[in-house]
Amino acid sequence: MSEKVYVLGIESSCDDTAAAVLCNNLVLSNVVAGQKIHESYGGVVPELASRAHQQHIVPVVDTALKQAGIDKGDLNAIAFTQGPGLLGSLLVGASFAKGLANGLGIPALGIHHMQGHILAHFIADANEQSPTFPFLALTISGGHTQIVRVDDYFDMTILGETMDDAIGEAFDKSGKLLQLGYPAGPEMDRRAKLGNPKAFAFTKPTVDGLNFSFSGLKTAILYFIQKETKANPDFIHQNINDICASIQHTIVEIVMDKLLKATAETGIKKIAIGGGVSANSGIREAIKSGEGRFGWTTYIPKFEYTTDNAAMIGICGYLKLQSGLTGSEDQEVSARLKF
């Protein structure tokens, strides 16, 4: 294999069609086409998502190759998201990747989406320094909430995960009750900065071990809003920033409790975060503050590598090739793909 390895990454697990070109661990292009269509439905509509992926995939890949300044004939492999995600959406990216790889006579490499979020830390310009093994990864997004022990690139163990809603859903669903639009996470974050985090108290779930649960919190918030708006129809409007700050504060505390437990149980004090919710300022600040308070080393990658993107899929492809994993294993997409 030549010294320079060019990998095209393709990500289509949810509502973003993304393509990226990497030369070894260096990102040459990183293109994401979002899908505005879901906003008016207050959530991702799977059937519309796969249709939009079909419209976007060719121009997005084309743009990624052009921006990288290479021809598809220069590629050494194509990495695609194999799962988990929406089946119809995954199929669009996977079929395209396999067809193109076949035509070019190069390997197609199926990548686990959550491993992508974790291995994004090994992109050349993701962090000042990449984490060293072993480390703990906190992957928090609209679809997932996991604490993973990472012993090597492809040696990961899930220590805890959500039993019901993902953390992003906790933000989005409670934000929906507050009419914050979709997805509500960023707006909740913005308003939380203007409010009092101790204004209202919400009961935190009691879940054993390192697992999470967020559906109870959502219900508690629903009942709280119903009760308060019955007494004062203008309650939300008058208290929106305090409500957002209090919800965010509760979610941050849930995350910090589990991280403290995970670091105590494993003795590992290196924490790498990933997934769209890691953009949350409250979560970032709390985890970062653990450096002084608990002696943690924290790794927070560049924003464009934390939300869904294809560079994280590309880096996994590159690391797979380096590890001698050439794509001969099962490549079928799966909505519930395991590690």
Residues forming the site for Zn ion (CB under 5 A) = 141, 308
Helix axes 185-192, 235-266, angle to 10 degrees: 100
Q: Residue 213 contacts by C-beta under 8 Å, 6 or more apart in sequence?
A: 162, 163, 164, 165, 205, 207
- The one among 107, 116, 185, 195 contacting ligand KG4 by CB under 6 A: 185
C-alpha dist (Å) from residue 303 to 147, 194, 239: 20, 22, 30
Contact call for residue 189 and ligand KG4 (CB under 6 A): yes
Q: How far is the CB of 169 from ligand KG4 (least distance, A)?
A: 7
Q: Which residue, 142 or 282, has its beta carbon nearer to Zn ion? A: 142
Contact call for residue 308 and ligand KG4 (CB under 6 A): yes
Pairing of strands 145-152, 135-140: antiparallel
Q: Which of residues 157-176 bind ligand KG4 (CB under 6 A)?
A: 168, 171-172
Question: Which residues face 19 on adjacent strands?
Answer: 10, 31
Question: Which residues face 109 on adjacent strands?
Answer: 79
Contact call for residue 242 and ligand KG4 (CB under 6 A): no
Among 151-159, 216-224, 270-278, 325-333, which window interacts with ligand KG4 (CB under 6 A)? 270-278
Contact call for residue 83 and ligand KG4 (CB under 6 A): no
Q: Which residue, 276 or 327, has its beta carbon nearer to ligand KG4? A: 276
Contact call for residue 183 and ligand KG4 (CB under 6 A): yes
Q: How far is the CB of 143 from ligand KG4 (least distance, A)?
A: 4
Q: How far is the CB of 205 from Zn ion (least distance, A)?
A: 23
| Residue showing the smallest CB distance to Zn ion in the complex | 141
Q: Which residue, 15 or 242, has its beta carbon nearer to ligand KG4? A: 15
Among 46-54, 184-192, 193-201, 314-322, which window interacts with ligand KG4 (CB under 6 A)? 184-192
Q: How far is the CB of 133 from ligand KG4 (least distance, A)?
A: 24
- Count of residues engaged in binding ligand KG4, rule: CB under 6 A: 20
Q: How far is the CB of 73 from ligand KG4 (least distance, A)?
A: 32
Contact call for residue 107 and ligand KG4 (CB under 6 A): no
Contact call for residue 12 and ligand KG4 (CB under 6 A): no
- Taking phi first (over 0 means left), then psi (-120 to 50 degrees means alpha), and beta for anything else, what does residue 181 get? left
Look at residue 280 and give the partner it binds from ligand KG4, Zn ion, none, a contact being a CB closer than 5 to 8 Å depending on partner kind.
Answer: ligand KG4
C-alpha dist (Å) from residue 116 to 79, 158, 275: 11, 14, 10
Query: What burial class does residue 175 get, using C-beta atoms within 10 Å of its C-beta: 0-12 exposed, 13-18 middle, 19+ buried?
Result: buried
Cis peptide before 183 (omega within 30 of 0): yes
Place of tokens 């390895």: 5
Q: Which residue, 160 or 274, has its beta carbon nearer to Zn ion? A: 274
Query: Shortest CA distance to 83 belongs to which of 52, 59, 112, 58?
Result: 112
Q: How far is the CB of 312 from ligand KG4 (least distance, A)?
A: 10
Contact call for residue 14 and ligand KG4 (CB under 6 A): yes
The amino acid at 285: E
Cis peptide before 233 (omega within 30 of 0): no
Q: How many residues does the chain have?
A: 339
Contact call for residue 122 and ligand KG4 (CB under 6 A): no
DSSP for 8-75 reads: EEEE-SSS-EEEEEEETTEEEEEEEE--GGGGGGTS--HHHHHHHHHHHHHHHHHHHHHHHT--GGG-
Q: Which of residues 16-35 bind ligand KG4 (CB under 6 A)?
A: none
Q: How far is the CB of 102 from ligand KG4 (least distance, A)?
A: 28
Residues lying near ligand KG4 in the complex (CB under 6 A): 14, 141-143, 168, 171-172, 183-186, 188-189, 275-277, 279-280, 307-308
